[in-house]
Amino acid sequence: MSYDVTFRYSQALDPSALVTIEASLHAIQAAITDCRNAGLPVETDPAVILLVRHLSQIGAQRTDDADLRRACIAQVEELRGRPMLKILALRGVAYDAPAKRLFHAQGRTAMRRLAAALALEDGSFDIRSNKAGPAVSGDVTLHGESIWVQLSLGPFGPGREVCFRKVQDRHDHIGQRNYWASVRDLLEPEQFATRIRQELRLPASAPDAPRLVA
């Protein structure tokens, strides 16, 4: 069976139906797949080249380069101001290794900030990261002498990404009843720490000196 069908050549000769960037990219990808299946060189295939040129023409019809560059810079600044952990929680990280790595890195940072807000002394808590399999987010856990907090994107739905409970010590992995919070709560560590102390009936405390948390 030949994979080198004539359809991609017909599309390349008359790409008038390809009026969007998405449709044109799909046609290019399909043409590249046909080439590879047929054992033909992609870089010199006339259909692929014509389809790529058509895509460039569609892009040229949009805003000019200067405006696009300004728009890119504005988007970069906006995204830098957003907590990525919240964005990752909304979009999910399953089957996306780079996003999952970022989720765990940001999750560990958030847990360190929460530990500081709870005035947990160095050496009195652990922060563990379990990435698990590719189909799940895995989890990031803060485990102290009296508190256990875990972040994961599980089946409990939006607003219940964080589970916390009271424990007897750092060897207690079961603890008492579960309480739930959202990623948004975790990203406000001072307020979240106050809520945790109240709901778990923990003694209020404050750190002896400010600590720098990266």
Supply the angle between the helices 21-38 and 46-60 in degrees, to the nearest 10.
170
Residue 208, pLDDT > 50, answer no
Angstrom distances, CA of residue 156 to CA of 79, 117, 152, 174: 27, 26, 10, 18
Q: Which of 207, 136, 125, 134 is nearest to 169 (CA)?
A: 125
State phi, psi for 108 to the nearest 5 degrees: -65, -40
Residue 170, pLDDT > 70, answer yes
Q: What are the pLDDT digits (tens) for 105-144?
A: 999 999 999 999 999 999 999 999 999 999 999 999 999 9
Task: Output the CA angle 128-130-136, nearest 5 degrees.
Answer: 145
How far apart CA 13 and CA 26 sit, in angstroms, is 16
Find which of 5-19, 57-71, 174-188 is predicted with most confidence, using mean pLDDT: 174-188
- The pTM assigned to this predicted structure is 0.62
Greatest alpha-carbon pair distance for the chain in Å reads 75
pLDDT interval class at 205 (50, 70, 90): low
Residue 207, pLDDT > 60, answer no
Helix (H, G, I), strand (E, B) or coil at 97: helix
Q: Which residue has the tokens 């709901």?
A: 199
Residue 211, pLDDT > 60, answer no
Q: What are the pLDDT digits (tens) for 68-106?
A: 888 877 777 666 666 788 888 888 899 999 999 999 999
The dihedral through the CA atoms of 92, 98, 102, 108 has a sign that is positive
Report the pLDDT value the prediction gives residue 209, as an integer from 0 to 100: 47
Supply the angle between the helices 189-200 and 97-117 in degrees, to the nearest 10.
70
Q: What are the pLDDT digits (tens) for 6-60?
A: 788 888 899 989 999 999 999 999 999 988 888 889 999 999 999 999 998 888 8
Q: How crowded is residue 180: how many other Cβ atoms within 10 Å of its Cβ?
A: 14
Residue 195, pLDDT > 90, answer yes
